[in-house]
Structure 1
Amino acid sequence: MARLILASNSPQRQALLKQQGLDFEVIAADIDETPFDDELVTEYVQRVARGKALFIGQQHLDAVVLAADTCIALDGQIIGKPKSKQHAFEIWQKLSGRQHDVFSAVCIATQNHIDHVIVKTEVAFQALTEQDMETYWETGEPIGRAGAYAIQGIAARFIPKIEGSYSNVVGLPIFETMKLLNKAIKALN
């Protein structure tokens, strides 16, 4: 198999790929991930994933580069990572008792091929009490997480239902990623 590079420092993405038995290098792409004004969530994740793949791909022409971006959206608005405890509480108050969407764009780039897919998963969140939020914040898990939660961790207790890819909510939709990866590798041979 060709040299595979994951253009991400995400421990969740790395763990998901290791579960698939893949050998890969990690070279994070340092690009600006600031959303544009009025940018649709799907446009945003696609732009960022593609930007990461191209940034690393231009430096490593011999490699297959896998890049992804995952974003939480509520009512069409991007919900980012919490900047503080207060910001996390504001995010949870918005998500509490509602359903939101998790979008991921996965992009695979080789020297002569680029392809992507966008995956959407719907996540239901239970109504959270002030005590739920306080207790969860104290675990440290929400820090640095889109939507201020990790479905694969303690936050699973707040999620009664999802529709779609679980691994997408973790950070990388594996089924779709493996299809793209296999297609790119076939194109190389």
Structure 2
Amino acid sequence: MSSNLILASSSPRRQELLQQINIPFTIRKQNADESVIQTGDPYEKVKQLALLKGRNVQIVSEKEIILSADTVVSFQNRIFEKPADEEEAFKMLSTMSGEMHEVYTGVMFRTQKTERVFVEKTSVEFWPLSDEEIKQYIATGDPFDKAGAYGIQSEGAVLVKGITGDYYNVVGLPVSRVVRELEQI
């Protein structure tokens, strides 16, 4: 039986990553109220958000597999989501300057018969950044739709000294693990 993958996300990065590895999918947007997840633990937060989003999308056929995901950046157990404005982006980036932080992505698969969820963690180290470098990056507009106020796959790449773990997890979807999980479903 062939399956139809349903992406429960409007994230352009997740769509691009699935297209990059030639996995066909259909987008079915969810409208879950993410504010109901109140935990400050980054691992639990992305796990619960992935579950919430995935359960918020209706399965209409036994061939469908719902894929939902959520990504946060964590520095010293403080969660950095998408910045609201330039000031918040500056605070996040200057806080992580010269330091190591973690990126967590929770991923959930759901069929009519089963649910699977996992969390992938990647450690990212930033170069020491001057205020001017941070301001120049913020001026690009790149930080505003990204957890932690940067995109490793775009202009934010120049901030990153190194990573330990899955690069694609930092972009927003750990594709190699996603493929392996899909094979088991």
When normalised by structure 1's length, the TM-score is 0.92
Between the aligned partners of 1:26 and 1:110, the Cα distance in structure 2 is: 16
Between the aligned partners of 1:92 and 1:153, the Cα distance in structure 2 is: 15
- 1:142 is paired with a residue whose SS is helix
| Closer, same or farther: CA 52–37 of 1 in aligned 2, 3 Å | closer
Q: Percent identity?
A: 34
Between the aligned partners of 1:35 and 1:147, the Cα distance in structure 2 is: 21
Between the aligned partners of 2:55 and 2:36, the Cα distance in structure 1 is: 18
Structure 1 residues not aligned, in runs of 5+: 185-189
Do residues 51 (structure 1) and 52 (structure 2) align?
yes
Query: Which AA in structure 2 matches 1:99?
Result: M
| Closer, same or farther: CA 27–170 of 1 in aligned 2, 3 Å | same
Aligned counterpart, 1:135: 136
Between the aligned partners of 1:143 and 1:39, the Cα distance in structure 2 is: 21
Between the aligned partners of 1:35 and 1:149, the Cα distance in structure 2 is: 25
Between the aligned partners of 2:39 and 2:155, the Cα distance in structure 1 is: 33
Between the aligned partners of 2:141 and 2:36, the Cα distance in structure 1 is: 26
| Residues 148-169 of structure 1, C-alpha deviations (whole Å, 9 max, x = no match) | 1000011111111100000000
**Structure 1 consecutive aligned stretches of length 4 or more whose deviation exceeds 6 Å:** none
Structure 2 residues not aligned, in runs of 5+: none
Aligned counterpart, 1:60: 60
Between the aligned partners of 2:171 and 2:61, the Cα distance in structure 1 is: 29
Aligned counterpart, 1:160: 161
- 1:180 is paired with a residue whose SS is helix
Contact 1:71–1:104, Cα closer than 8 Å, also in 2: yes
- 1:143 is paired with a residue whose SS is helix
Query: Which AA in structure 2 matches 1:162?
Result: I
Do residues 95 (structure 1) and 99 (structure 2) align?
no
Contact 1:35–1:44, Cα closer than 8 Å, also in 2: no
Contact 1:79–1:146, Cα closer than 8 Å, also in 2: yes
Aligned counterpart, 2:127: 126
Q: How many residues align?
A: 183
Shift of residue 34, structure 1, vs aligned partner: 2.6
| Closer, same or farther: CA 80–35 of 1 in aligned 2, 3 Å | farther
